């Protein structure tokens, strides 16, 4: 049913929901009346009237673009910051992690596919929270910051922006775990309120891998976005999921590591993550530890000083070593810091080298995970 004004009765009801808001970063198309272009991510979707963007949560209603998951949260948990993973940003701190549904990638191996690959045809779901409620929860639970994660935070940009702005006013820091496909102009607007980002590569950034296993036409724009994050002063750590057989090429890791050294610096933390079979790739094996160790050695050979192996609890490359003398200054087991040896100012106790770590140690004796939703 369509009303005389042209808006369907279903959309009229939708617009009354607290989690439906006018989106940021879009423009009407002059040559296509009623169509809009979304400029939030590098896909820059052209969306017909009544249709959705690739992410599944942005809809063109009467020539205006709306986000349908503003504050419609699927998770609100307390996490150690090492889970993000952020190893060199306020180590030992606690963050309140939030997410919605939707994603602009279609990774066949996604660990959080229940929320990331949910599309509107299957129904929106979540519990509505305002930015004020999220920040209040973070303060009440004595979190050090808020992390926008689990699904791609670009998807709920408007809510992230409003929450991050309020969080900064209350003395909290903000971090995000992202696929890096947010446009530079969106990053620039978010810039003053975001403090750190974990940028997740998969398959070493290989173009064929991104097309075949992730539904992404070209990963190259990710590098432009990372450079804008750097210009905004964000702390940046890079991860790369190593998928055995199809996403573990040595030349890809070598190229990615070299780019990090040349553009972000040789002390930028680089995490090689072990793959676990999930979603549409359950028939693949877990990544052999030997493969991770071989790739870590290659990354170090390109000049990276802090290379980590993730999802292998107890591995020596969970620890942080002094770049000058090799002393293990931070020892970890999984997401927990079990030994902190740095002196004040993040200085190596053996040789006096100042490590590239932002913020002081904030170790807490908490049990994780803690769900607040």
pLDDT at position 371 is 63
Q: E strands of 203-321, at which residues?
A: 235-242, 270-274, 307-310, 320-321
pLDDT at position 39 is 98
Q: Give dist(CA 95, CA 64) in Å, integer.
A: 35
Q: Tokens 């290989």 label which residue?
A: 206
pLDDT at position 368 is 52
Specify the domain boundaries for CATH 3.20.20.70 within the chain: 73-371
pLDDT at position 4 is 34
Q: Give dist(CA 104, CA 181) in Å, integer.
A: 8
pLDDT (tens digit, 0 to 9) for every residue of the chain, 373 residues total? 333 356 888 999 999 999 999 999 999 999 999 999 999 999 999 999 999 999 999 999 999 999 999 999 999 999 999 999 999 999 999 999 999 999 999 999 999 999 999 865 567 899 999 999 999 999 999 999 999 999 999 999 999 999 999 999 999 999 999 999 999 999 999 999 999 999 999 999 999 999 999 999 999 999 999 999 999 999 999 999 999 999 999 999 999 999 999 999 999 999 999 999 999 999 999 999 999 999 999 999 999 999 999 999 999 999 999 999 999 999 999 999 999 999 999 999 999 999 999 999 998 645 555 666 6
Contacts of 259 (CB under 8 A, 6+ apart): 223
The two tokens of residue 101 are: 């549904």
Instruction: Map 9-35 to HEC letters.
Output: HHHHHHCCCCCCEECCCEEECCCCCCC
Distances (CA, A) of 169 to 162, 164, 192, 241, 355: 11, 9, 11, 35, 29
Partners of residue 269 on adjacent β-strands? none
Query: CB–CB of 241/231 below 8 Å?
Result: no
The DSSP code sequence of 222-233 is HHHHHHHHHHTT
Cis before 369? omega within 30: yes
pLDDT at position 369 is 53
Query: CB–CB of 117/152 below 8 Å?
Result: no
**Which fold would CATH assign to domain 73-371?**
TIM Barrel (3.20.20)
- If phi > 0 it is left, if psi is from -120 to 50 it is alpha, else beta; for residue 326 that is left
Query: CB–CB of 247/213 below 8 Å?
Result: yes
Relative orientation angle of helices 221-231 and 250-263, to the nearest 10 degrees: 30
Neighbours of 313 (CB within 10 A): 11
Note the maximum CA span of the chain: 76
Residue 260: what are its φ and ψ, rounded to 5°? -60, -45
């Amino acid at each position: 049913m369509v009303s005389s004004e042209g808006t369907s009765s279903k959309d009229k009801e939708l617009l009354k929901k607290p989690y439906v808001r006018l989106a940021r970063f879009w423009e009407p198309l002059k040559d296509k009346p009623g169509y809009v272009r979304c400029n939030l991510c590098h896909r820059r979707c052209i969306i017909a009237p009544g249709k959705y963007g690739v992410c599944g949560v942005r809809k063109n209603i009467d020539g205006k673009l709306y986000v349908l998951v503003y504050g419609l949260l699927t998770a609100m948990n307390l996490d150690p910051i090492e889970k993000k993973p952020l190893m060199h940003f306020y180590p030992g701190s606690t963050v309140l992690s939030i997410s919605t549904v939707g994603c602009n990638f279609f990774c066949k191996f996604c660990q959080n596919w229940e929320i990331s690959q949910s599309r509107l045809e299957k129904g929106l779901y979540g519990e509505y929270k305002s930015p004020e409620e999220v920040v209040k929860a973070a303060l009440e639970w004595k979190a050090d910051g808020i992390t926008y994660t689990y699904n791609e935070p670009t998807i709920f940009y408007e809510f992230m922006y409003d929450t991050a702005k309020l969080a900064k006013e209350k003395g909290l820091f903000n971090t995000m775990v992202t696929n890096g496909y947010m446009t530079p102009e969106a990053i620039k607007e978010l810039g003053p309120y975001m403090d750190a980002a974990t940028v997740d590569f998969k398959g070493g950034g290989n173009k064929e891998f991104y097309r075949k296993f992730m539904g992404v036409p070209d990963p190259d724009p990710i590098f432009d976005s990372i450079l804008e994050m750097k210009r905004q002063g964000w702390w940046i750590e890079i991860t790369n999921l190593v998928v055995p057989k199809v996403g573990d090429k040595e030349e890809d890791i070598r190229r990615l590591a070299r780019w990090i050294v040349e553009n972000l610096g040789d002390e930028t933390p680089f995490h090689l993550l072990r793959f676990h079979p999930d979603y549409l790739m359950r028939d693949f094996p877990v990544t052999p530890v030997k493969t991770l160790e071989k790739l870590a050695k290659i990354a170090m050979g390109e000049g990276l000083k802090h290379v980590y192996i993730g999802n292998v609890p107890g591995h020596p490359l969970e620890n942080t070593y002094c770049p000058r003398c090799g002393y293990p200054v931070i020892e970890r087991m999984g997401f927990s810091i079990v030994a902190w040896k740095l002196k004040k100012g993040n200085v190596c106790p053996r040789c006096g080298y100042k490590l590239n770590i932002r913020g002081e140690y904030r170790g807490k004796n908490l049990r994780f995970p803690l769900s607040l939703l």
